Homo-oligomer: A and B are copies of this chain.
Amino acid sequence: MDESDPPDFKKRIRESFRRQAAMRTIGAELTRVEPGTVEIELPFDAKLTQQHGLLHAGVISAALDAAGTYAGYSVIDPEASLLTIEFKVNLLSPGRGERFLFRGEVTKPGTTIIVSDGRAYAVRPDGPAKLIASVTGTMMVVRGREGIEG
């Protein structure tokens, strides 16, 4: 089987996501993996809130960073890995809702640097999704660095 086969990058991403213990801790699931696009979903949980009972900006950032990073994994070769260098989050509306969707998309692929953009939504069963945050993140492609695999 060709290593660049779509099912292969999907498998790599799913396995890597499973190793992100922090995603398990916040209850995040990987719900969509396509070339250049990854989605993560998260049900609201009172243990993830800030002082006003809203979803904590750090939790939003964690899920947006993961979505953007794994979108990046879909455009790199199978031996490489990614490290987030930096990201910027804009919190556009209060993190209020029962379920949240985080979509990461590759804006600029590259051999050394990859840039992704992402958006977070409060998903409502009875209405349109509400945009609650946006992110831009920069990642570095790493190869053969001890301890940084997958």
Contact = CB atoms under 8 A, between A and B. Distances in A.
Interface of A: 16-17, 19-22, 24-26, 46-53, 56-59, 61-63, 65-66, 81, 83-94, 107-108, 112-113, 115, 117, 131, 134, 136, 138, 140, 147-150
Contact of A136 (B17, B46, B131, B136): B136
B147 A53 contact: yes
Given A61-B65, A115-B134, 5 more contacts: A19-B51, A22-B47, A25-B47, A58-B59, A83-B91
Contacts of A81: 52
A101 to B, nearest CB: 16
Contacts of A52: 19, 81, 147-150
A59 B93 contact: no
B89 A113 contact: no
Given A51-B150, A115-B134, A134-B136, A56 B20 contact: yes
A90 B136 contact: yes
A141 to B, nearest CB: 10
Contacts of A21: 46-49, 56
Nearest to A90: B86
A98 to B, nearest CB: 16
